[in-house]
Structure 1
Amino acid sequence: MAGIGHNRGPGPASGFRAHAWAVARRELLGARLPVEVVRMQVRRARELGLDYKTYAGVRATTGRDLVAFLYSSNALGVFRPQQRLGQAERARIAQSAAVPHLGCGPGLAPAALAMQIGARSVQDLPHFGTPWSAMRDRMKAWLRAEGLPGDAVLMIGETDHEREMMAAGGLAGFVSGQRFFAGVADAV
């Protein structure tokens, strides 16, 4: 027997009940947005430096607008202390309407890199092998300190470990740095 709050989905039942669920799901996923809403979303996607599909997907999933990007030093292609970020990458970040934040890998000069991208905040990212709960606590503490809702922050990263940080912190999504800086940002 299903407990309180269970919507008694179609389950193994067949017949009309399964048909009704299939129709409802199709209607929900096939909902068409008014043209003005789509235009507004296209404009906002452009302001953020994302393609429409990525922006609309994140927006539909989280129900929130993106306000900040968390760039990892890996996504920026910075692997040594005092390494300069490329001009094209700096320009792309500066053009985005999202507030930039920086997550640095170990052994880097976070303050110097944060200054290059105009980051509002900088943090050392959890090291590889950090337990999930510690990653979650660290990412959530950073979000609280910055006054950011996690589902309004998109992570621009490069590694699977950074993808785990995104999930642990409850961030809106993940876009690879290579795709973002190439101008093609498909979120995962």
Structure 2
Amino acid sequence: MIGHNNGPTMEPGTSWRTHCWQQARRSLLKTVPIEIVRSQMVRARELGLNYKTYASIRAESGQDVVAFLFSTNALRLLRSQDVLAPEAAEQLEALQDCGRLLAVNPPLPLPQNPLFSTITRAPAPFAPWAEMRQSLREALGKFPSGGVVLVGAPEVEREWVTAGKLAAYLPASRYFSQETQNG
């Protein structure tokens, strides 16, 4: 309705409904068929994630990961002369059946890089929510926001997830670590 900010409901019984939802989710997680777990493990490998990370993203968003949005901060591209680290490029090339998007932080120019399907301007630091949301919608293009995972570097980029209604936030240090890829 007009003026509603989609904040928490003020109706009575919210805590009870939350409790019921959490109980139902816990009981479902215990009975996931092994075939689904196996297929999710394969998908996690295709995305360069460990199963636990992938399963938590999927459980939170309710959707499969369809793309990763990387910030230039996450890729340590802080100056116009910086180049992508070979290890990071290798990990990006290994992504299968998944979009690779790059959000270029100001004032860097938009680079040309065939590893990314879309390269756009990142939201300005501390931009208003509406501006941030619009910038992220342009960055996502055809990808549904609920299936896009943001890989960011400074903690301030985490708010892009809320503004853009993205699936999850992974710190770059975690995404590019062996911990996320293997175990």
| TM-score normalised by the chain length of structure 2 | 0.82
Asked whether the 8 Å contact 1:66–1:154 carries over to 2, the reply is yes
Change (3 A) 1:23 1:149: closer
Among residues 156, 175, 181, which one is paired with 1:180 in the alignment?
175
* Alpha-carbon distance change, 29 to 109 in structure 1, aligned in 2, over 3 angstroms: same
Residues 75, 157 of structure 1: 8 Å contact kept: yes
Structure 1 residues not aligned, in runs of 5+ = 1-5, 12-17
Compared with structure 1, are the counterparts of its residues 39 and 135 closer, same or farther at alpha carbon in structure 2 (3 Å cutoff)? same
Q: CA deviation at 1:138?
A: 1.9
CA–CA distance in structure 2, aligned partners of residues 42 and 129 of structure 1: 37
Is the alpha carbon distance of 1:161 and 1:82 closer, same or farther for their aligned partners in structure 2, counting shifts above 3 Å? same
1:95-141 deviations in Å (ceiling 9; x for gaps): 112221100111323224x34xx101111111212111211122123
**Structure that is richer in helix per residue:** 1
Identity rate, percent: 32
Paired position in structure 1 for 2:47: 48
**How far did residue 27 of structure 1 move?**
4.1
Q: Go from structure 1 to structure 2 and tell me whether the alpha carbon gap of 1:23 and 1:160 turns closer, same or farther (over 3 Å shift).
A: closer
Whether the 8 Å contact between 1:82 and 1:108 is mirrored in structure 2 is no
In terms of mean alpha carbon deviation, does 74-83 or 133-142 score higher?
A: 133-142
The answer to whether 1:9 aligns with 2:9 is: no
Give the number of aligned pairs: 170
Question: What does residue 6 of structure 2 align with?
Answer: none
Query: Which of 144, 166, 181 is matched with 1:171 structurally?
Result: 166
Partner SS state of residue 76, structure 1 = coil
In structure 1, C-alpha distance between the alignment counterparts of 2:20 and 2:142, rounded to whole Å? 40
Which residue of structure 2 lines up, in the alignment, with residue 133 of structure 1?
Answer: 130
Is 2:117 aligned against 1:120? yes
Partner SS state of residue 184, structure 1: helix
Instruction: Please give the secondary structure, in 2, of the residue aligned with 1:39.
Output: helix
Question: C-alpha separation between the residues in 2 aligned to 1:128 and 1:24?
Answer: 36
Code of the residue aligned with 1:110 in structure 2: it is: L
Structure with the greater alpha carbon radius of gyration: 1
Out of 23, 28, 51, the residue aligned to residue 26 of structure 1 is 23
After the TM superposition, which residues 29-178 of structure 1 pair with which residues of structure 2 at under 5 Å, given as runs? 29-31=26-28, 32-97=31-96, 98-112=98-112, 114-115=113-114, 118-143=115-140, 146-178=141-173
Give the alignment's Cα RMSD to 1 decimal. Answer: 2.6
Whole-Å separation in 1 of the counterparts to 2:166 and 2:153: 15
TM-score (norm 1): 0.80
* Letter matched to residue 127 of structure 2: T
In the aligned structure 1, how far is the partner of 2:111 from the partner of 2:56? 33
Question: SS of 2:81's equivalent?
Answer: coil
Q: Provide the residue aligned with 2:7 in structure 1.
A: none
